[in-house]
Amino acid sequence: DADVTQTPRNRITKTGKRIMLECSQTKGHDRMYWYRQDPGLGLRLIYYSFDVKDINKGEISDGYSVSRQAQAKFSLSLESAIPNQTALYFCATSDFNRELAGMYQETQYFGPGTRLLVL
């Protein structure tokens, strides 16, 4: 079974609709992230969470919101979808080695992605 799962894998919605993308992980990581990928633009960070009570905006958070329901679950919502939110969305988790906090010791694991089309 995959360590990081995303549902749905594909979604078509209409402008103005509210939708939720879900992410679950079995890796036991505290840190979780949401990215979007657009052709020719690479990945851009939408939101990130270091634990259940710590949620932060990334570089492109406008039009999005998140919920960290549990350590294992991190959901991304589009309150009122618009066509330029059509993209491939990725959830990721990362570990963090507190014993080696003096050096950056962290590895990121990505889910398979959700392809979203907003008409």
Selected binder of other proteins within 31, 55, 65, 73 (CB under 8 A):
31
* Rounded least distance, CB 118 to other proteins, Å: 20
Q: Is the peptide bond before 8 cis (omega within 30 degrees of 0)?
A: yes
Nearer to other proteins, 15 or 108 (CB): 108
- Per 3-state DSSP, the chain is made up of helix, strand and coil in percentages (nearest 5) of 5, 55, 40
Contact pick of 11, 20, 43, 72 for other proteins (by CB under 8 A): 43
What strands, in cross-sheet order, belong to the sheet with 4-7? 4-7, 19-25, 73-78, 64-70
Q: Which of 34, 48, 64, 74 binds other proteins (CB under 8 A)?
A: 48
- CB count, 10 Å around CB of 107? 10
Closest to other proteins by CB, 36 vs 118, is 36
Amino acid identity of residue 41, one-letter, is L
Of 13, 20, 45, 67, the residue at the interface with other proteins (CB under 8 A) is: 45
Name residue, tokens 């014993």: 99
Which residues of the shown chain bind other proteins in the complex (CB under 8 A)?
4, 31, 33, 40-45, 48, 56, 58, 90, 92, 94, 103-113
